[in-house]
Amino acid sequence: MLEQPEQPSTNSWKSKLKPILETIEMIVIALVLYFLINSVVARVQVQKISMVPTLVPGEVLLVNKLAYTFGEIEHGDIITFHYPLEPDLDYVKRVIGKPGDEVIVNNRDVWVNGELLFEPYISAAPEYEGTWQVPTDGLFVLGDNRNPSADSHIWGFVPLENVIGKVFAVYWPPNKIRGISTPVIFSANQ
């Protein structure tokens, strides 16, 4: 009697293929999660000193890209946006004036619609003066490091369409992890 060669069992073949399929499945799930998260949250690294002392160069921020889809921009929000004069660059600044607001910087104080801002987060009071009427499709933004900051007092307003989102946390470096909240910026004593 002739011996028939053994046929490889389909179970053996499947058991060898199973770890490969599981690995591919994990990679696909990880990629889908990455792209889902990336569509809602941006990561931006602080490059310059314009937001010192609130944010310092090297810190990496988490930005809620849907914040203004479901809510309104508030005075005091820290936002990221495409720089109006060079849209390939993204900037981080604090919202001082919203559409329709009048912003006055006079005698080292900042006033919005006749209300004095309370700004314990700035590094120093502004040494410049001016009056700006915020257009209905724009924002007036300033850095917390007021005097060396290139911001709306120099180059103008941020078009609303340039806003990427609202900064909500610092997540790098690990010893600087913290949430970012919007302060009350209008003074109680006028």
SS3 89: coil
User: How far is the C-alpha of 124 from the C-alpha of 144, rounded, in Å?
Assistant: 8
- Tell me the percentage of the chain whose pLDDT exceeds 90: 72
Q: Catalytic residue positions?
A: 50, 93
How would you classify residue 116: left for phi > 0, otherwise alpha for psi between -120 and 50, otherwise beta? beta
DSSP state of 176: G
The residue-averaged pLDDT of 129-147 equals 97
Q: Model confidence over 160-184: pLDDT tens digits?
A: 999 999 999 999 999 999 999 888 7
Q: Model confidence over 67-99: pLDDT tens digits?
A: 999 899 999 999 999 999 999 999 999 999 999
How would you classify residue 58: left for phi > 0, otherwise alpha for psi between -120 and 50, otherwise beta? left
pLDDT at 121: 93
Question: pTM for the complete prediction?
Answer: 0.82
The residue-averaged pLDDT of 28-34 equals 81
Structural domains in the chain, sorted by start: 40-179 (2.10.109.10)
Higher-confidence residue of 14 and 189: namely 14
The residue-averaged pLDDT of 46-50 equals 94
